[in-house]
């Protein structure tokens, strides 16, 4: 039986094989992704981001308990852009979900920044699509909230959760610029620690100062103590309420459309780039172009236009 068929039947080993092939950029992976695509679009995608060590994985782990109790199957993608050590195999330390490792209804995959052509966001999307086609009801994407990449990844989610912890101090100002806008739901985790109320007050202030959201959604704040599972039920309920609000206001359709556009542009971009790079490498043209640029015989703008023009002419 072929790989695609096995994946559609929920075969975990087949799915893992495809995900490895995607990582290694094996050309047949693209064929499988094409075949799987019609079966995607059913899963509900949730993004969770926040500072390193804020408890994202612990929260995910506890949410999975609830989803499983409700009979939902779950996919987890842990994006790990900072660690040079991971690469699809780490399921141990950084991801605290071993408890679910033997559960057939939970599929966990971690992802690093390597193989960067097309970007982390594209790779995440591919993996999410495989899990979606496998029939996962809920897909959780965990990413450390530090840079632009993470924000892009979060855009693929329908509900985005931003995790903060006490003791961030003035950092909330720094975070504000980047990730506050993307939060549909906020979590203050590690509420057993001192300062949870202060973070909450600060966050509320920042949220109130910000402009009112177009979709009319008022982002709630949940206080959790994830290691003990405290507040997680309320959080999951908050996700369901957000989902309902999205459906009611037809924003979910809009989000799906936007997500589609991002994916398509990313694929287009990476395919076009791959094409041009291959072209330049083949003809040994890299050196010529670089020489010309170094000697100021040409400028990078003209050089780029020339390559594009030549390519278009030959088609
Ligand atoms: N005190 C306290 N510790 C917590 C809580 N939740 C999680 N932790 C601990 O915080 C540490 C980091 O938790 P993780 O869930 O791995 O955090 P993370 O955000 O996924 O970390 P990275 O993926 O490495 O960025 C672990 O030692 C957890 O046990 C909490 O509510 N209170
Ligand atoms: Mg983690």
Report every protein residue that has its C-beta within 5 angstroms of ion ligand 2.
56-57
Specify the residue with its C-alpha closest to ligand 1, atom 28: 55
**What is the pLDDT at residue 258?**
84
Reduce the DSSP state of residue 193 to 3 states and report it: coil
Regarding pTM above 0.85, the answer is yes
Most confident of 87-91, 141-145, 164-168, 190-194: 190-194
- Which residue of 47, 55, 153 sits with most ligand 1 atoms within 8 Å of its CB, as the best mutation to test the pocket? 55
90 lines ligand 1 (CB under 6 A): no
290 pLDDT higher than 80:
yes
Tell me the C-alpha distance between 193 and 55, whole Å. Answer: 13
Tell me the C-alpha distance between 157 and 26, whole Å. Answer: 26
58 lines ligand 1 (CB under 6 A): yes
Residue 232 parent element (H or E)? helix 232-248
**What is the pLDDT at residue 85?**
44
Q: Which of 44-58, 61-75, 173-187, 242-256 has the lowest average pLDDT?
A: 173-187
| Residues 12-67 pLDDT 10s | 899 999 998 988 878 899 999 999 999 999 999 999 988 888 899 999 999 999 99
How much distance in Å is there from the Cα of 130 to the middle of ligand 2?
Answer: 21
* Secondary structure letter of residue 212 according to DSSP: P
Reduce the DSSP state of residue 185 to 3 states and report it: strand
93 pLDDT higher than 60:
no
232 lines ligand 1 (CB under 6 A): no
225 lines ligand 1 (CB under 6 A): yes
- How far are the Cα atoms of 59, 66, 208, 215, 245 from residue 218, in angstroms, in the given order? 22, 24, 10, 9, 10
- Which residue of 226, 230, 232, 235 sits with most ligand 1 atoms within 8 Å of its CB, as the best mutation to test the pocket? 226
Tell me the C-alpha distance between 20 and 27, whole Å. Answer: 12
How confident is the prediction for the chain on average, in pLDDT?
A: 85
Which ligand sits closest to the CA of 81? 1
Q: 234 falls in which pLDDT band (50, 70, 90)?
A: very high
Q: 275 falls in which pLDDT band (50, 70, 90)?
A: confident
- Which residue of 58, 108, 187 sits with most ligand 1 atoms within 8 Å of its CB, as the best mutation to test the pocket? 58
- Which residue of 78, 86, 227, 229 sits with most ligand 1 atoms within 8 Å of its CB, as the best mutation to test the pocket? 227
Pick the more confident residue, 159 or 84: 159
190 lines ligand 1 (CB under 6 A): yes
Q: 128 falls in which pLDDT band (50, 70, 90)?
A: very high
**What is the pLDDT at residue 88?**
38
Which long-range contacts (C-beta less than 8 Å, at least 24 apart) are formed by 112-115?
Answer: 112/80, 112/81, 112/83, 112/84, 112/86, 112/87, 112/88, 113/80, 113/81, 113/149, 114/23, 114/87, 115/23, 115/24, 115/25
11 pLDDT higher than 80:
yes
**What is the pLDDT at residue 95?**
47
Pick the more confident residue, 242 or 118: 242
Across 2-19, average pLDDT: 91
157 pLDDT higher than 60:
yes
Across 125-153, average pLDDT: 85
Atom of ligand 1 nearest to the CA of 144: 25
**What is the pLDDT at residue 147?**
62
Tell me the C-alpha distance between 169 and 198, whole Å. Answer: 9
Specify the residue with its C-alpha closest to ligand 1, atom 29: 227
Rg (CA), the chain: 22
Specify the residue with its C-alpha closest to ligand 1, atom 2: 190
């Amino acid at each position: 039986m072929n790989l695609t068929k096995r994946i559609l039947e929920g075969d975990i080993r087949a799915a893992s094989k495809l995900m490895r092939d995607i990582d290694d950029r094996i050309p047949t992976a693209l064929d499988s992704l094409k075949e799987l695509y019609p079966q995607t679009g059913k899963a509900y995608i949730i993004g969770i981001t926040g500072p390193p060590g804020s408890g994202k994985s612990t929260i995910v782990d506890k949410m999975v308990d609830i989803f499983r109790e409700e009979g939902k199957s779950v996919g987890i993608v842990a994006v790990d852009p900072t660690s040079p050590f991971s690469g699809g195999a780490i399921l141990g330390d950084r991801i605290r979900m071993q408890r679910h490792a033997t559960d057939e209804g939970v599929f966990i995959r971690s992802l690093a920044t390597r193989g960067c052509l097309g970007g982390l966001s594209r790779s995440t999307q591919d993996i999410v699509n495989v899990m979606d086609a496998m029939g996962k009801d809920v897909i959780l994407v965990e990413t450390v909230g530090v840079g632009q990449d993470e924000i892009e990844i979060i855009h693929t989610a329908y509900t985005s959760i931003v995790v903060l912890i006490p003791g961030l101090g003035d950092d909330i100002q720094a975070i504000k610029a980047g990730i506050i806008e993307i939060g549909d739901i906020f979590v203050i985790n590690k509420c057993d620690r001192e300062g949870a109320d202060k973070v909450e007050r600060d966050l509320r202030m920042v949220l109130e100062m910000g402009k009112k959201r177009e979709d009319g959604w008022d982002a709630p704040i949940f206080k959790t103590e994830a290691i003990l599972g405290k507040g997680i039920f309320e959080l999951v309920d908050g996700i369901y309420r957000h989902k309902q609000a999205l459906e009611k206001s037809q924003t979910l359709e809009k989000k799906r459309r936007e997500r589609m556009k991002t994916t398509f542009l990313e694929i287009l971009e990476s395919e076009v780039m791959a094409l041009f790079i291959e072209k330049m490498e083949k003809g040994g043209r890299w050196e010529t172009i670089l020489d010309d640029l170094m000697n100021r015989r040409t400028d990078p703008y003209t050089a780029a236009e020339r390559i594009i023009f030549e390519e278009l002419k030959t088609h």
